[in-house]
Amino acid sequence: MPTDLPSSLRPLLPHPLPRFLFFTGKGGVGKTSVACATALALADAGRRVLLVSTDPASNLDEMLGLRLGARAVAVAGAPGLQAMNIDPDASAEAYRHRVVAQLPADDLAQQAQVREQLSGACTTEIAAFDDFVGLLAGDAEGFDHVVFDTAPTGHTLRLLSLPKAWAGFLSGNDRGASCLGPHSGLKMQESRFRQGLQALADPAQTLIVLVTRPDAAALREAARTHDELLQLGLTRQHLVVNAVFRATVADDPVAQAWQALGERALAQLPEGLRGLSQAQLPLRAFDMVGLPALRALLQPPDDAPLLGEPPPLPPEVQNLAALADALAEQDHGLVMVMGKGGVGKTTVAAALALALVARGKTVHLSTTDPAAHLTATLAGDAPEGLTVSRIDPAAETERYIARAMAARGAELDEAGRALLLEDLRSPCTEEVAVFHAFSRTVNSARRGFVVLDTAPTGHTLLLMDATGAYHRQMAQSLAGAGTHFVTPLMHLQDPAYTRILLVTLPETTPVSEAAALQDDLRRARIEPFAWVVNRSLAAAGPRDPLLRARVRGEQAQFARVLGGLAQRCHVLPWQAEPPVGVAALQALTA
């Protein structure tokens, strides 16, 4: 396999280049753009490259201009490049077939039992993980490089920790069953997990590229990811700072503030990142959609065109205070803030929770995001009337295990309890525990307002899948008996109980991502209440040519949103200082 770097990649990545490249980081920093540009540059240099998205809410399709699935397909216009999405649903079905095929053909009872074990929501995650491990353990033969475009950080850290977790869980454990199927039939998978772990931890085989922006929050998350990856044994890491801006108009306060903000963030680079090799990419005037734009990302930038004063925002676009007023018309309910990683969900959720308190409501603010940015965003004590919590996966897992041992293990002997505990220690238990905590949070909105800051889209969709699976299970077991029941899904489908807010940025890919999420919600008969377009340059009024070029692109996205996507549209302007702390958040809805 060639390891020398193509000329376009020499300023970006370290030498020698290993076979497996992982691009990870906080949502919205440009992971997919940098991963696609890297894969294209390698293919243009004559390499055979497989580009893989591990994000359940992948946007590779739009960037590359083709429809992707679970099988790799050639990318037109890029000889040598193939791409695929790891599709959780398709992976789960294929995984069920593989596990059942290992069972005796004439033992229909055992086959039915195993299918039931594999029907849980966590099987979807595990199956997608199994496909991921396969690419590390030999399923990607014939490719010089495999480039992974990963989900936002919290989801990715869990994915990268699973080979070690499952390898340890299965070691010496040939009894019982889990969402992976019977342990006694998993020795083949155990070998794959160990191969995957070995490849991940080998610096000669794997490079982790931490993609960030010159933004304090993104850099903090990159530093935290760096530390957690080191604990997993993934030692070869490299930092790419994307979208670095240099102002060209001296009397433009927006442009000067943007540059100063980035310079200050990079000057205060977290200690854990200072020892990493580093590269920077400039902010571009165009969206990263299509092969020409992706190739241009790694080329020297052209001067931005001089443009006149852009037209104002459409009058249908309202501020965040108007949204807070609309939500406050009720006395209680669930407000779920959803969207792609990095679009500002936590900021919007915290600002609206504080606005509801200011309007005389009692509010509980919580988050399902494993990265849990609420505390840093509030940066202080919550005012009277607001309580704050997080759904902590580790703590919820321990609570779930304790409850399960008390309920199911009470009448078991010591050996039976040991076996039950063994099964409950499987990594997939976390997904079940988080769903139960989510259900409790949804139900608590009967007594007051609950504002829920959700995880990035892909992780949230897995949680919604679990919600749907639980609803179907309850309907099947209780409806026939004439028992009245209300599931979390039924609460989410009730517009008088739940208001779904989709947060996006005024850029092509985030808007498309929000539209795809809205389609998924509507298939579950959940109708979003409003869209929030965050960090709008059009609402801030810059004069710098590059920023004005980006404003023109924003206006096309507002036209998309208002042209049939959103029932209501609200905007937050770009701000020189990120709104951190109670006072700054309250100012967003003043």
Enzyme catalytic residues? 28, 30-33, 55, 509
Beta-strand runs (E) in 432-582: 449-453, 498-504, 530-536, 569-573
Rg (C-alpha) for the chain, rounded Å, is 24
Residues in Cβ contact with 415 at an 8 Å cutoff, skipping those fewer than 6 apart: none
Q: Is the dihedral of CA 42, 43, 48, 53 positive or negative?
A: positive
The residue type of 484 is H
Distance (Å, whole) CA 241 – CA 532? 27
Indicate the burial class of 362 (C-beta count within 10 angstroms; 0-12, 13-18, 19 or more). middle
Q: Which letter, b or e, does each residue of 249-279 get, where b requires 16 or more Cβ atoms within 10 Å of its Cβ?
A: beebebbbbbbebbeebbeebbebbeebebb
Instruction: Cite the DSSP H helix spans in 82-237.
Output: 88-101, 108-117, 121-136, 153-170, 187-201, 216-231
Share of the chain residues as helix, strand and coil, in percent rounded to the nearest 5: 50, 15, 35
Strand pairing partners for 450?
A: 334, 364
Q: Which letter, b or e, does each residue of 500-535 get, where b requires 16 or more Cβ atoms within 10 Å of its Cβ?
A: bbbbbbbbbbbbbbbbbbbeebeeeebebbbbbbbb
For residue 30, give the nearest of 370, 509, 371 by alpha carbon. 509
Distance (Å, whole) CA 490 – CA 283? 44
Q: Contact at 8 Å (CB) between 157 and 25?
A: no
